Structure 1
Amino acid sequence: MLALSTLAFCVGAQAAERYDSGKREYMDRCAVCHGQSGKGDGGMIDILRTAPTDLTTLSRNNGGVFPFEHVYAVIDGRQAVKGHGSRDMPIWGKAYSAETVRAGEHYVDMPYNMEMYARARILSLIDYLNRIQAR
């Protein structure tokens, strides 16, 4: 019985890791520059004009408080970031909008709010960034 419980726990832990939408969003959109660890050591570092921010120190650099509003503004495009270029061309660009249009095709028989879809993805990414803060 103990072995069965241990197996169930391991499978549950693997499923939680697999379905971490914030981490998946980070790996898809941010890791190329900020690195898989978030420390600014991504594969594109050699060709960037501005070194990527160490995203694990956002709280430390903000008096121990995660700067939620600033991070949200950077991700959704309201806050310009020198290293990301113009607001028309950060790495994620207009990808959220384009993807929400494609996602909306699956909701033909019910109301679908594209803004809410994009907001949920941004919030899951911010949640992940909050979880990787250095303690």
Structure 2
Amino acid sequence: MKVPFICLALLAMPAFAQDADIGRSHYHTHCATCHGLEGRGDGPMAGVMLIKPVDLTELSAQNGGRFPLERVVMRIDGRDPLVSHGSPMPVFGDYFEGSFDVPIKAPSGQPVLTSRPVVDLVTYLQEIQRIE
């Protein structure tokens, strides 16, 4: 069986360290205004938004106990635009879109390529998930 070149190239990529502390900083700078300091969807701008921000601490609980990594990565980096954000993240889309050259491992084991800031931010979001 022949393996496509792109798959081999992804497997050969070095594993990048994920930094939740940097992700926390990105979150507080770029996300807390709408999603709140603790990610519960209660930021100062939440009251004026037509579609309320989701509680980011409940992403795993709302997905059968599994963090929806691919969906979250693609929402943040703009590949899966969210209508309430007006497409990509409203003010910070350019910062998170970047080049998709850093792999993050999905629950399926497959790598998802995104930008370095998204990897760190998603790592932080995984840390703040409520465990029931």
**TM-score, normalized by length of structure 1?**
0.68
User: Which 4+ stretches in 1 moved above 6 angstroms?
Assistant: none
Deviation at residue 93 of structure 1 after TM alignment? 2.1
CA–CA separation in structure 1 for the residues paired with 2:91 and 2:58: 21
Unmatched tracts of structure 1, length 5 or more = 1-18, 101-113
Segment of structure 1 superposing worse, 78-87 or 121-130: 78-87
CA–CA separation in structure 2 for the residues paired with 1:68 and 1:49: 26
Deviation at residue 86 of structure 1 after TM alignment? 2.6
Determine the structure 2 residue equivalent to 1:75.
Answer: 76
Contact 1:55 1:133 in 2 (8 A): yes
Deviation at residue 119 of structure 1 after TM alignment? 1.2
Determine the structure 1 residue equivalent to 2:5.
Answer: none
CA–CA separation in structure 2 for the residues paired with 1:62 and 1:43: 26
Contact 1:84 1:91 in 2 (8 A): no
Amino acid at match of 1:90: P
CA–CA separation in structure 2 for the residues paired with 1:128 and 1:70: 15
Aligned-pair identity in percent equals 41
Work out which of the two has the higher radius of gyration on C-alpha atoms and give 1 or 2. 1
Deviation at residue 45 of structure 1 after TM alignment? 1.2
Unmatched tracts of structure 2, length 5 or more = 1-19, 103-113
Alignment of 1:16-95 (within 5 A): 20-87=21-88, 90-95=90-95
CA–CA separation in structure 2 for the residues paired with 1:95 and 1:52: 20
**TM-score, normalized by length of structure 2?**
0.69
CA–CA separation in structure 2 for the residues paired with 1:50 and 1:62: 20
Cα RMSD (Å): 2.0
Deviation at residue 96 of structure 1 after TM alignment? 4.1
Instruction: Give the structure with the higher percent strand.
Output: 2
Deviation at residue 115 of structure 1 after TM alignment? 4.7
- The C-alpha deviation readout for 1:27-47, integer Å capped at 9, x for no partner, is 011000000010000010121
SS of structure 2 residue aligned to 1:20: helix
Classify 1:60/1:116 alpha carbon distance in 2 versus 1 (closer, same or farther; 3 Å): same
Instruction: Give the structure with the higher percent helix.
Output: 1
Classify 1:85/1:22 alpha carbon distance in 2 versus 1 (closer, same or farther; 3 Å): same
Aligned positions, number: 101
CA–CA separation in structure 1 for the residues paired with 2:21 and 2:37: 14
